[in-house]
Amino acid sequence: MDAHVQQEVTERFVAAAFGGDLDALMGLLAPEVTLWADGGGKSVVGGPRPVRGRDKVARLLVARTARPMEGLDIQYRETNGDPSAVVFVENAPFAVMVVDLTSDGSQVRDIYTVANPDKLSRVRKEPGAD
């Protein structure tokens, strides 16, 4: 997949999710989308099982981001070789999100979210990226 396309779709996905735009999310998510979340039992983001299906994933994302977060900042960068969204709340790492696209690049097929504080302990905000 072209990195530019993946970056652009990642940005649209994050804008829709954190903007609470259910209609935009429904258009971006493939019908068989799966949300894989690692909260490590220490975060409200992520449960023990993956969430499958466009409707369930979209509604979960909108519900989790419905309440405005003070000091929210999202930086786009490469993580483990993939374009990602790194979410900070009040300058502390909150989550790293990576999306995989369908083969034609038109929709999000998988969402991987790491919100486990232990796994985010080395994530730093990049200066001047605001």
CATH no. for residue 109?
3.10.450.50
The parent domain of residue 56 ranges over 3-114
Cα 94 from Cα 11, distance rounded (Å): 17
Question: Residues 55-60: what's their mean pLDDT?
Answer: 94
Residue 22 in domain:
yes
Q: How many domains does the chain have?
A: 1
Residue 105 in domain:
yes
Query: Is 96 within 8 Å of 120 (Cβ atoms)?
Result: yes
Residue 104 in domain:
yes
Cα 115 from Cα 128, distance rounded (Å): 23
Residue 127 in domain:
no
Give the pLDDT of residue 129: 57
Residue range 64-104, pLDDT digits in tens? 877 777 888 999 998 888 889 999 999 999 999 999 999 99
Residue 32 in domain:
yes
Residue 123 in domain:
no
Give the other-Cβ count within 10 Å of 3's Cβ: 11
Residue 122 in domain:
no
Cα 1 from Cα 103, distance rounded (Å): 8
Give the pLDDT of residue 3: 81
Residue 92 in domain:
yes
